[in-house]
Amino acid sequence: MAKQESTELTEAQLAVHWKEEGYYHPSAKFIAQANMTDTDILERFGEKNFPECYKEYADLLTWFVGGKLNACYNCVDRHLPKNRNKTAIHFVPEPEGEPIQHITYQELWVRVNEFAALLREFCGLKRGDRVTLHLPMTAELPITMLACARLGVIHSQVFSGFSGQACGERIADSQSRVLITADSYYRAGKLLDHKKSADIAVETAKAEKAPPERVLVWQRHPGKYSAQTPLVQGRDFVVNDLLPKYRGHRIEPEHMLATDPLFLMYTSGSTGRPKACQHSTGGYLSYVTGTSKYIQDIHPEDVYWCMADIGWITGHSYIVYGPLALAASSVVYEGVPTHPDAGRSWRIAEELGVNIFHTSPTAIRALRRAGEDIPKKYNYHFKHMTTVGEPIEPEVWRWYYNVVGKGEAVIVDTWWQTENGGFLCSTVPALSPMKPGSAGPGLPGIYPVIFDDDGKELSAGAGKAGNVCIRNPWPGLMQTIWGDPDRMTRQYFQRYCKDKDSKDWRDWPYFAGDGAVLAQDGYFRILGRIDDVINVAGHRLGTKELESAALTVPEVAEAAVVPVPDEIKGRVPELYVSLKPGVKASPELSAKIAMAIAEHIGPIAKPNHVWIVPDMPKTRSGKIMRRILTALSTKSDTGDITTLANPEVVEIIRSTVQAGG
């Protein structure tokens, strides 16, 4: 673990000088209907009752004899007796003229069963097999996940905005037997050819000697193939053509062990290649169901809209598994929240009667910029709102509260990670007041702590930033890193473990990789990543991933990525490259390097700028000083550069950046 570099220190210092914000209190109306109003919960989930306290979450699920369960059964079948005719999923297409689909629990059950039959009978998939999903935000995505869960097949959904190549690498790493994709989807007014990515994905997986056996393609418009890219005979199959054969088929849900994996979710870390977090069936589902009930305050009669993409962990836990386990109606919106205009989100909320809303600071900042007062024009009412994914500025929080929430909605700022399955820090909405810019205390049953670099615990109100850790394990924590179990220990548990032979959980705090400050009142303010991860618009990207993509361009000798603050996206990556001898810099070459990154990872990873420089600032031992590059990008003080091996390069880079390239 590298010591914090000066960008982080600056941020930490900044945070500490950030003034303490005042509290906001939940309304009496919210408290009167809330799922959790009993302060005893903190006692029940206190350290002396750990880990038995978590039985309370497990009891929210339906178990088969012998401690077995099925996630699909819990999210669908068990709701049929009471809620058969209730909407499970409202699918909102991006084109506003296209009608919203209201899929009832009964219909969801039928569609999941028929698709599960297809997966089993046509593809021969069975318990423990892996499949990769590269599906956009349509109802077919949760249907596919639930069909896999029904069979005990481990799904690995790759965010649809990721490139075919990124998808292919994940197919190979997980050794998926089948790729499930879609022909097309709407984004910002355009029908995108998505099938194109599947061909690249299969080629990439083939090059890694792990091609999928088959590719299943859902049609965006059933009955009509809407991609330009043709199907590959014998390999690609249109789901909508095959489905009629399975009409009326019903599949018994597999009885899974609580410890059987439910899904894999790839995420970026400090290495060039993303790793797959393996989440369990029982622990994960209990944890997301419990937290959906008590932190999201979901009741069966609620209409719940989480704007995240199901391709991220937020969507898995808090669009699909948590809300559906509680028999809520969950909204799946295909497109961009500001398409065709800034009123779109509020029209959806108004039309569907959404009363719980969940989004990221980036989306809030974008909605605010697109139409400061627009929410007022629409007649919707939220009782509850969530912010997740990045630190939220108090000013943005207040706009969210006053304008989007109309001063009526309680807000939870939930801090957690792909690795965690569900929330770690947040207020319990009816129990504790909100504080703009602070996630709040640990959830019931979660005991967070801040350590300094030497492993000393920083006390509440110390006014110093440190590394946030969780003292205890919890049911939603991933089981392992797929195919690399040692890395799980190295990356998350080694840092602050004082006794490597200990079998006591108290000796193995979970190291999250975020900087944080703990206020006197026990509220955590999360400052951001302290490792090589950049959080761009709430999407997690590894600097090493971007750098290795840049290095695939033959002209590039060295590459370094730095995070730069951005008004909307929180952070954006800027890329510095030096070229091989004899190669000349040109705007075309910069564009080619940016394109290489988009192709390797996806458009979200495209750097804001590609600065071609004669050399990187380096220490005498040859280490690239990213801290200095960050200072140059942000036009701040570079600090002492006299110890560099090549201090003269700093001024040259500065003039490049000042000239704008």
Considering the complex, state which of residue 61 and residue 439 has its C-beta at the smaller distance from ligand WTA: 439
Considering the complex, state which of residue 313 and residue 481 has its C-beta at the smaller distance from ligand WTA: 313
Q: Which residue has 């898995």 as its token pair? A: 316
Interaction of residue 267 with ligand WTA, rule CB under 6 A: yes
391, 526 contact by CB (below 8 A): yes
Shortest spacing between CB 96 and ligand WTA, in angstroms:
29
Shortest spacing between CB 418 and ligand WTA, in angstroms:
3
Considering the complex, state which of residue 331 and residue 439 has its C-beta at the smaller distance from ligand WTA: 439
> Using CB under 6 A, which of the segments 169-177, 243-251, 308-316, 595-603 binds ligand WTA?
308-316
Shortest spacing between CB 328 and ligand WTA, in angstroms:
19
Fill in the DSSP letter of residue 425. Answer: B
Binding test (CB under 6 A) with ligand WTA, winner from 296, 314, 427, 479: 314
Shortest spacing between CB 157 and ligand WTA, in angstroms:
13
CA angle 574, 576, 579 (to 5 degrees): 150
| Alpha-carbon gap, residue 137 to 160, rounded angstroms | 8
Give the x/- contact pattern for ligand WTA in 363-392, rule: CB under 6 A: -------------------------xxxx-
N- to C-terminal Cα separation, the chain: 33
Considering the complex, state which of residue 425 and residue 610 has its C-beta at the smaller distance from ligand WTA: 425
Residues 407-436 that bind ligand WTA (CB under 6 A): 413-418
Binding test (CB under 6 A) with ligand WTA, winner from 307, 313, 443, 589: 313
- The token pair that represents 221 in the structure block: 């418009």
CA angle 461, 465, 470 (to 5 degrees): 85
Shortest spacing between CB 508 and ligand WTA, in angstroms:
19
| Alpha-carbon gap, residue 74 to 96, rounded angstroms | 33
Considering the complex, state which of residue 539 and residue 626 has its C-beta at the smaller distance from ligand WTA: 539
Helices (H), 208-328: 239-242, 282-294, 313-315, 322-325
Residues 437-456 that bind ligand WTA (CB under 6 A): 439
- The token pair that represents 115 in the structure block: 């698709």
Considering the complex, state which of residue 389 and residue 542 has its C-beta at the smaller distance from ligand WTA: 389
Considering the complex, state which of residue 390 and residue 547 has its C-beta at the smaller distance from ligand WTA: 390
| Alpha-carbon gap, residue 604 to 566, rounded angstroms | 14
Considering the complex, state which of residue 115 and residue 510 has its C-beta at the smaller distance from ligand WTA: 510
Interaction of residue 276 with ligand WTA, rule CB under 6 A: no
Q: How many residues bind ligand WTA (CB under 6 A)?
A: 22
Q: Is 567 helix (H, G, I), strand (E, B) or coil?
A: coil
What is the 3-state secondary structure of 572-627?
Answer: EEEEEEEECCCCCCCHHHHHHHHHHHHHHCCHHHCCCCEEECCCCCECCCCCECHH
| Alpha-carbon gap, residue 120 to 31, rounded angstroms | 46
Shortest spacing between CB 297 and ligand WTA, in angstroms:
17
Considering the complex, state which of residue 314 and residue 330 has its C-beta at the smaller distance from ligand WTA: 314
| Alpha-carbon gap, residue 320 to 310, rounded angstroms | 8
Helices (H), 357-452: 361-370, 394-399
| Alpha-carbon gap, residue 477 to 553, rounded angstroms | 38
Considering the complex, state which of residue 216 and residue 443 has its C-beta at the smaller distance from ligand WTA: 443
Cα Rg of the chain (Å, integer): 24
Considering the complex, state which of residue 108 and residue 145 has its C-beta at the smaller distance from ligand WTA: 145
* Closest residue by Cα to residue 595 from 575, 620, 613: 575
Shortest spacing between CB 511 and ligand WTA, in angstroms:
11
> Looking at beta carbons, which residue is closest to ligand WTA?
418
Give the x/- contact pattern for ligand WTA in 505-544, rule: CB under 6 A: --------xx-----------x-xx-----x----x----
Interaction of residue 405 with ligand WTA, rule CB under 6 A: no
Q: Which residue has 């703009």 as its token pair? A: 436
Helices (H), 438-580: 485-488, 543-550
| Alpha-carbon gap, residue 358 to 538, rounded angstroms | 13
Q: How many CA atoms lie within 13 A of 94 on its CB side?
A: 23
- Helix orientation angle between 648-659 and 626-633, rounded to the nearest 10 degrees: 30
Shortest spacing between CB 154 and ligand WTA, in angstroms:
19
Shortest spacing between CB 525 and ligand WTA, in angstroms:
8
Shortest spacing between CB 144 and ligand WTA, in angstroms:
21
Q: How many CA atoms lie within 13 A of 116 on its CB side?
A: 29
Considering the complex, state which of residue 268 and residue 289 has its C-beta at the smaller distance from ligand WTA: 268
Q: Which residues bind ligand WTA (CB under 6 A)?
A: 267, 312-314, 388-391, 413-418, 439, 513-514, 526, 528-529, 535, 540
